[in-house]
Amino acid sequence: MALDPSADVLRFIETHIDSVELLHVLMFLVDRKGESWPTAAISRELRSSESSVNMRVRTLVERKLLAADALKDGKVEYRAGANAPESVVIEALAYYKLAPYRVVEMIFSKRTNAIQSIADAFRFRKED
């Protein structure tokens, strides 16, 4: 894979991924496709809190990055959602593995831009 991701990958990251942990939960599930994991076990593997992993899994389902039936009885399994074709998810995760700092920069630059927009809205301007 080249260091320049496809437009689909860029759009996927910019539209759906707002935290590194969300990306890690998705990667964990994709890397273990076909396996059903309790969220407590995922949290141990990722060294995160169970409540945080639960929140990320719910976010993945709400954003339709995981199928609605991916979470059952406290266990989750990767099943592609309507907003994320599996090929795009796999390509995005491969790009993250190849260039993690670029993806992290993309995630955090969205936050910086949003914060700057809010700050600009409250900026006092001299009236001419």
Place of tokens 């707002």: 18
Tell me the torsion sign for CA atoms 63, 66, 67, 70: negative
0.95 exceeded by the pTM?
Answer: no
For 84, the token pair is 């994320």
pLDDT tens across 79-105, in order? Answer: 999 998 999 999 999 999 999 999 999
Place of tokens 């860029």: 10
Query: Domains, the chain, ranges and CATH?
Result: 7-117 (1.10.10)
pLDDT tens across 3-28, in order? Answer: 788 999 999 999 999 999 999 999 99
